[in-house]
Amino acid sequence: MTGKTRRPFRHRPLHGGFGAGPRPGRGGPSATRNPAAHGPGSSGFTLIELLVVISIFVLLLALAIPAFSSMLYSSEQALAANNLRTALSAAHDAALRSPAGLDGAAVFTFEPGGRISIIPCVQVAQLADAPQAVIGNQPAVVMRDVFVPVPTMEPVQIPMGWMVRGYAPPNSIDNEWYEQTYPVGDRTRGNWVFPETGFYDTDSGNTQDMAADGRDRQTFMVRFEGGTGRLRRGDGAAALVLLPSPAAFRTAAPFATFRADREADPARFVRRVIGAGSLTAMQKQQLLGDVSSDTVLARAVGQLAIYSATRLAGAVGARVNPDTGSIYQKPGPSNNYGPKVTNIAGQPIAGDTINRWIEGRLMVPGSNPLVPFATDARVFAMDHYMGVPQELTGSAP
């Protein structure tokens, strides 16, 4: 050995090995990005990019809204049809539980600003009523069946904006039932009638008039035979349905003593009135007859139509009245009987216009060749034996 001094050995870690530090130019400090070096807008959207995103969003929204509206419309239409079937089934069950001779019925009502309600009812008695007018050999007294709501069954409501009409066959409208809505010349054809249970004067201040508004209240029913549940036709005299009026007219006899609006058991009230020896025949008619504001005149029908009030209004040139929620006007001082319906120009709309739209026969004005308005009305016919509604396809009825 010479006098050379050995330098101590120092371990130099290899690049990429265990414990190796960052290599220059590959992730080391010299490769760290400086955001400021790329400009102030590199971390957000440019104005053009933002406008493109907004445009795409608006386009998608424009495509989605009609689809959503159509889906909502179809859902409400299906709900209306299902509720109709539910109500008819309840009335049919009530008839099956009733003895022979006492029928069950689904009674249709409408209060302005509300919804169509279907009330399961049962027949409880008969009343010797006075017809509105004695014509020729017509008897001075007509026997009418009296129906009351079933206390244990709740009314079934149709979704808001959806309506139900009943088909009155030719010559079934007479001088008592829908006589003011359909003139004599319109009665020889079939008509789709609307529940006119709430279009009457309830606050005129004249108690005598408010007590006798019953002839402004009429509707239709689907009637089932007691004990069998078979469908009953609308032959014979129209029936009476006890549906107490909210009008404040019960201050004098016989209304002060016999308060239909305070009776918890409507069947008991009807029997009490008919069996009361202290009441004259005229007083019983005032309490329960066609003239009474507490009853509604109803006739049985076999076909029903469900439709949208908005689409009917658009087809016949009318508007949905904001006060009634229908195409009809609310009764008032200058219109004390309803319903009245006019087009946008204020001209009356013929009842046959509504008939033709429901049946798909209303033509678009000015179309050549003639093109019918699209109708969304769903028409149902009641099965005579089973008592269930069956939807019709094609022209109705």
Q: Strand pairing of 156-157 and 116-129?
A: antiparallel
pLDDT values of the chain reduced to their tens digit, one per residue, 397 residues: 445 555 555 555 545 444 445 555 444 444 444 544 455 545 577 888 788 888 888 887 777 676 666 777 888 999 999 999 999 999 999 999 999 999 999 999 999 999 999 999 999 999 999 886 554 555 678 999 999 999 999 999 999 999 999 999 999 998 889 988 888 889 999 999 999 998 887 665 555 656 667 788 999 999 999 999 999 987 778 999 999 988 777 778 888 889 998 989 999 999 999 999 999 999 999 999 999 989 999 999 999 999 999 999 989 888 898 888 998 887 655 444 455 676 666 677 777 899 999 999 988 887 777 888 888 899 999 998 888 999 997 555 6
Integer Cα distance of 75 and 79 in angstroms:
6
Residue 95 CB coordination number (10 Å)? 27
Distances (CA, A) of 50 to 39, 53, 54, 63, 283: 18, 5, 6, 20, 78
pLDDT of residue 246: 84
Nearest to 241 by CA among 145, 117, 116: 145
Integer Cα distance of 155 and 73 in angstroms:
23
For the chain, the structural domain boundaries read 60-391
pLDDT of residue 124: 97
Amino acid at 173: I
pTM for this structure?
A: 0.80
Integer Cα distance of 43 and 35 in angstroms:
8
pLDDT of residue 331: 67
Nearest to 344 by CA among 312, 318, 311: 318
Q: What are the structure tokens assigned to 389, written together?
A: 């509604």
| C-beta of residue 90 within 8 angstroms of C-beta of residue 156 | yes
Please provide residue 25's backbone torsions phi and psi, each rounded to the nearest 5 degrees: 85, -5
